[in-house]
Amino acid sequence: MGSVFRDFLCLCLYFALLHTAAGLSFDGESQLSLLKDLVVPPSIKLSWNSNDSTPCNWHGIQCDGLKV
């Protein structure tokens, strides 16, 4: 029984770390998805970087507590 719990705990930790290392937040992914369908100036497109962890520093994006 102990090894099952340990395996479960390791799996949970793995997914937590995977999510943390994934990079861009859900809000950022949503914004990038919208960007594909919008006509925007190149300066805005260049500031929207999928390697950022949050879109809060992107040109034209306003956040409240790290939420868009």
| Each residue's pLDDT expressed in tens, for the chain with a length of 68 residues | 577 767 666 655 555 554 444 567 788 888 888 877 778 788 887 888 888 888 888 888 888 876 77
- 8-state DSSP, 22: T
Instruction: Establish if 5 belongs to a structural domain.
Output: no
pLDDT in the model for residue 66: 64
pTM of the model: 0.49
Total domain count for the chain? Answer: 1
- Contact at 8 Å (CB) between 63 and 54? yes
Instruction: Establish if 13 belongs to a structural domain.
Output: no
Instruction: Establish if 4 belongs to a structural domain.
Output: no
Instruction: Establish if 62 belongs to a structural domain.
Output: yes
Distance CA 21, CA 18 (A): 5
Tokens 């390697």 -> residue:
51
Residue 30, domain extent: 23-68
